[in-house]
């Protein structure tokens, strides 16, 4: 497996978020990437450094005003006389609020969907660096067809075209998919196996027929992101039929998960994608601190094998998966399973 990773993931280092009304330590920390990197380095993988593709491929997915917010938010926030060490919104536009704000506190509520995406002084740089890793992987894949894993951090699949959320700022998987389209792929499929619904990815492509979005995730009636991820969300307009959600009940283990994966892969086969982006969350693990599902390390190995058997040009983009004593083992299992299946 070819792997794209960075030398330093520490520039974005959020400290907290709010969960069920409590301020808690943020699980999306630099040590995640360090664990995943050690797992990669312990295997026989071809490691390459990311390239800088600039902002144009990012702007192909994200709105200009949103990118401007991310670039300038910290400077505006830190100019407040009583600012906190991270930007955490304390007001969001509700159903009856329609004015676009100009003050940084209002802008934070407008562009940050929740409190799980705090912005600090290094967030913009960290998010752009993560997107460049995904772009490097997609570009390398399209040039020679070799499967490539992008060790992205921060993750991206909860980021909409114009909004951050759920630890995510720039949607790395969507950016990779769009880059593949721009390089010449006629159709691209994104398969999201993170435990949380890939709501941002769904939103970006919901009205498009050229990118199939498929997400296997915990049932959103009782799990983040709550407002999206239901089976009746199938796309709209030209994209009707190009979105598939496969929600799973709490505690689902290897057997049912793998059966559901076969349903997802059959949809991708029917779609006829020229390239496949795997949004790889490892937080479906039975030992993940945000646990909702119960996939084992052996199950992740089989997930990797089934993804590898498809034969399509594939880029794997790291999404979630939080610190446990088997986080690195789970990544190693996916990559090894994929490589074995590809021979």
Report the catalytic residues.
158
Estimate the crossing angle of helix 172-183 against helix 123-144, to 10 degrees.
Answer: 40
For residues 197, 91, 85 and 226, what is the CA-based torsion angle, rounded to 10 degrees?
-10
Residues 303/262, Cβ–Cβ less than 8 Å: no
* CA 98 from centre of chain: 29
Assess contact for 3 and 120: CB atoms under 8 A. Answer: no
- The tokens describing 297, both together, are 């390390």
Give 310's DSSP letter: T
The beta strands (E) that lie in 144-252 are given as: 148-150, 188-192, 211-218, 243-248
CA neighbor of 246 nearest in space, from 284, 281, 216: 216
69/123 Cα distance (integer angstroms): 12
Tokens linked to 212: 């199939």
Residues 6+ apart with CB under 8 A from 182: 57, 60
């Amino acid at each position: 497996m070819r792997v794209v990773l960075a030398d330093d993931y520490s520039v974005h280092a959020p400290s907290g978020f709010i969960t069920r009304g409590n301020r808690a330590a943020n699980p999306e920390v630099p040590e995640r990437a360090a664990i995943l990197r050690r797992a990669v380095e312990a295997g026989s993988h071809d490691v390459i450094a990311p390239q800088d593709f600039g902002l144009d491929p990012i702007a192909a997915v994200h709105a200009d005003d949103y990118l401007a917010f991310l670039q300038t938010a910290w400077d505006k926030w830190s100019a407040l006389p009583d600012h906190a060490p991270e930007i955490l919104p304390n007001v969001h536009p509700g159903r009856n609020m329609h004015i676009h704000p100009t003050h940084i506190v209002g802008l934070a509520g407008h562009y940050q969907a929740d409190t799980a995406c705090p912005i600090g002084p290094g967030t913009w740089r960290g998010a752009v660096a993560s997107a460049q890793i995904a772009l490097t992987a997609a570009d390398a894949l399209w040039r020679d067809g070799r499967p490539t894993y992008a060790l992205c951090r921060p993750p991206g699949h909860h980021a909409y075209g114009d909004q951050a959320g759920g630890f995510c700022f720039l949607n790395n998987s969507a950016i990779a998919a769009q880059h593949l389209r721009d390089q010449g792929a006629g159709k691209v499929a994104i398969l999201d196996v993170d435990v949380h619904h890939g709501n941002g990815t769904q939103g970006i492509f919901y009205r498009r027929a050229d990118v199939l979005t498929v997400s296997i995730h915990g049932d959103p009636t009782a799990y983040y992101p709550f407002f999206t991820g239901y089976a009746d969300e199938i796309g709209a307009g030209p994209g009707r039929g190009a979105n598939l959600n496969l929600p799973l009940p709490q505690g689902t283990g290897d057997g049912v998960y793998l059966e559901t994966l076969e349903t997802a892969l059959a949809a991708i086969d029917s779609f006829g994608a020229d390239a496949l982006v795997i949004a790889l969350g490892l937080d479906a693990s039975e030992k993940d601190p945000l646990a909702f599902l119960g996939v084992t390390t052996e199950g992740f190995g089989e997930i990797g094998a089934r993804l590898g058997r498809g034969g399509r040009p594939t880029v794997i983009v790291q999404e979630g998966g939080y610190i446990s004593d088997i986080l690195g083992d789970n990544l190693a299992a996916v990559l090894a399973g994929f490589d074995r299946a590809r021979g």
